Amino acid sequence: MSWHVLGAGSLGSLWATRLFRAGVPVQLILRDAQRLAAYRQAGGLTLVEQGQASLYAIVAGDLNEQAPIERLLLACKAYDAAEAIAAVAHRLTPEAEVILLQNGLGSQDEVAVQLPGRRCLPASSTEGAFRDGDWRVVFAGQGHNWIGDPLDATPPGWLSDLQRSHIPHTWSPDILARLWRKLALNCAINPLTVLHGCRNGELVRHGDQVDALCAELAGLLHGCGQADAARDLHLDVWRVIEATAANYSSMYQDVAAGRRTEISYLLGYACAAAERAALQVPHLKVVHRQLLEHLDRHGLPRY
């Protein structure tokens, strides 16, 4: 059974190249005939690891192809997920399984609602990769992947493909708690690094703001039935700030590079969830408003 990887960006390429070189059948789904022609011109995907570049001639098709899909890795940004799945939904077999690599929350439901009866498995990744050219991905940070299914705790058989491909992973029956926790960490750190224009570690100078956001986020997690995800959030936020002190957050990097952010699926999702649960989150709301204004000033989308 072949893996299909939709989105040959940073994470999609990182997964596809590792599956391919382990001999696991995999093919890429690219946006259109033009992107497919450019890919074929490049001769494949290049993975750069510890300065060593290797080219992998992975089979690719585009969204117009009609061959059935049994296992799909959806590897686009959260804001592209719903549209991307709509373009391939008719190709998914009734037993098809879809692994969702999107950060944040919200896109998983936008996808699942289009795939009644199909198994959708959200993943949460701490691996780091970036593109330093078209069809070239740099493996920048070792990490881990947690994969789960909120509706069914039975691990899928294809985890052995990940094992064989040395893709570090853990089957996670509490994947929603993990996604919520990651969202809360992101909301406590990333927006402030954008607003203060600083590295993660410099947030020690804005400790009161971080602490106020942590308190509201812990309350939000409790209010949304995610008490486990709220445990020691505050300590974890400061641990992450210290451990990543020299780094610029992903949101900071997106804004600095003029790239669209995933704000709607991170801070925007948190504020909407608070509204639905009738919870007061004044600090989160202020930071959200300031971040939207910041995006406006930089000509970037608010969603």
Q: Which residues bind ligand NAP (CB under 6 A)?
A: 6-12, 30-31, 35, 63, 75-78, 80, 83-84, 87, 101-103, 125, 127-129, 131, 262
Whether 8 and 135 have beta carbons less than 8 Å apart is answered as: yes
Min separation Cβ 288 and ligand NAP, Å: 18
Cβ-based nearer residue to ligand NAP, 132 or 242: 132
Min separation Cβ 13 and ligand NAP, Å: 8
Min separation Cβ 100 and ligand NAP, Å: 9
Cβ-based nearer residue to ligand NAP, 105 or 220: 105
Q: Which residue is nearest to ligand NAP (CB)?
A: 9
Cβ-based nearer residue to ligand NAP, 212 or 270: 270
Give strand pairing partners of 130.
Answer: 138
Min separation Cβ 117 and ligand NAP, Å: 22
Min separation Cβ 271 and ligand NAP, Å: 19
Tell me whether residue 285 is one of the annotated catalytic residues: no
Which residue is catalytic, options 178, 182, 283, 288? 182
Q: Alpha-carbon distance 2 to 228, whole Å?
A: 36
CB-side neighbour CA atoms (13 Å) of 174: 10
Cβ-based nearer residue to ligand NAP, 142 or 154: 142
Cα 31–Cα 264–Cα 245 angle in degrees, nearest 5: 100
Cβ-based nearer residue to ligand NAP, 36 or 274: 36
Q: Which residues are catalytic?
A: 182
